[in-house]
Amino acid sequence: MDTMLDSRRVVITGLGVVSPLGASIEEFWNRIVSGDCGIVPITAFDAEQYDCRIAAQIDEVDVTPAFPNPKEIRRTDRYAQFGVFAGHQAIQDSGMDLAGTDLDEFGVFIGSGIGGLRTIERQHQVLLKKGPKRVSPFLIPMQILNMASGLLSMYHGLRGPNLATCSACATSGHSIGEAWRTIKMGDAKVMLAGGAEAAITPVGIGGFAAMKAMSTRNDDPQHSSRPFDIERDGFVMGEGAAVVVLEEMEHAKARGARIYCELRGYGNTADAHHMTTPDPNGAGAGRCMKMALRSVRMNPEEVGYVNAHGTSTPQGDICETVALKEVFGEHVKGLAVSSTKGATGHMLGAAGAIEMAICAKSIETGVLPPTINYEYPDPDCDLDYVPNEAREKRVEAAVSNSFGFGGHNASLLVTRFNG
């Protein structure tokens, strides 16, 4: 790595979460380690005719603290409401005084895999029933997937680098990785980074169900998402947002910040294989993890925990297991691996960020979250998946994996902070 990139260190100093298990990092973390599940029958719309009728759905959340006035909320799609609120929380959690911060060096990278799908669906119905003149003038700004990133910059005066990634389920992993790179390059001192998603809608559920990608265990929602278990039958959609505050280390130390962990490495590769199916050999995922390790010259044996992508799909979980074995070799036998999607569902473009928050809390607390609903081992998935109960274990380094349709891969490597 370039000497300039080596010289700047990046730490995580704030976490914000809106999830099916709570709309604060404290509630979310407590419920994750307790093994709770946020998957329920869908009530957001009438799902009676759908093959999949379950989701990790969020009850209404009071996002007003993050918005200048209620009118702005009505002009913002649900996904962006989640993203803005998670970003607001992350700033608060960081303890940063914005009035004393150079906001020219404070940027925002918040992505979304799908964006404002609910707005598109509702306004399309308006178009069909009432004609084009009744379509909302806020349709476009509400549905575009960069608006969470844009609104956070506007509401907080953050004038640094600003963009929105979109790489399906790898979106917020890439958001965080590219924000890390931005600080390493010296283009910002502080970054908000993460993702937001709200696709539990008729088209969202209908589209994924048509691909036969989703669980149809409708009579047992709490046990429907079961990563690495041999009875898994597909993923369950989740919604929400997560945002982390990334900060250049000297900037964080100068203000006496509480530091969760250090973000050390980032991998970004492509499978170049298929629109929706991962490389059966796990080659793209393996190269991605190796890239994250190589960027900090870390040996695989130094990693103690992996928060797996582990979506509960029959093929995807096997491919990731194969990749982990190839990357970690003999060390994989002592490596703790868990997927938290049994609890949160698959939050699509927000998944990587909420799982990065989990890795940060795991390093901070010395507790690894469980893979819930792991009851029947799959001989093709034979690693230590931290089954069903959280585990007390101090780890010095953790990897978070996110893999998306289109063959997009993102891996993030965090370590215990040693300043």
Say which residues have a Cβ less than 8 Å from residue 341's Cβ, sequence separation at least 6.
225, 227, 235, 236, 238, 310, 311, 312, 351
- Helix, strand, or coil here: 336? strand
d(CA 60, CA 63): 9
Say which residues have a Cβ less than 8 Å from residue 23's Cβ, sequence separation at least 6.
17, 58, 61, 85
Segment (H or E) for 173:
helix 171-184
Strand pairing class (190-197; 106-111): parallel
Choosing from 309, 359, 381, 408, the catalytic residue is 309
d(CA 291, CA 234): 29
Choosing from 37, 52, 166, 169, the catalytic residue is 169
Choosing from 346, 359, 381, 408, the catalytic residue is 346
d(CA 111, CA 408): 14
d(CA 249, CA 262): 9
Say which residues have a Cβ less than 8 Å from residue 153's Cβ, sequence separation at least 6.
107, 108, 159, 162
Q: Is 274 a catalytic residue?
A: no
Sign of the Cα pseudo-torsion (298, 388, 365, 92, in order): positive
Q: Is 346 a catalytic residue?
A: yes
Cβ(399)–Cβ(308) below 8 Å: no
Question: Crossing angle of helices 171-184/351-365, nearest 10°?
Answer: 70
Q: Is 319 a catalytic residue?
A: no
Burial class (CB in 10 A: 0-12, 13-18, 19+), 60: exposed
d(CA 170, CA 346): 11
Residues recognised as catalytic: 169, 309, 346
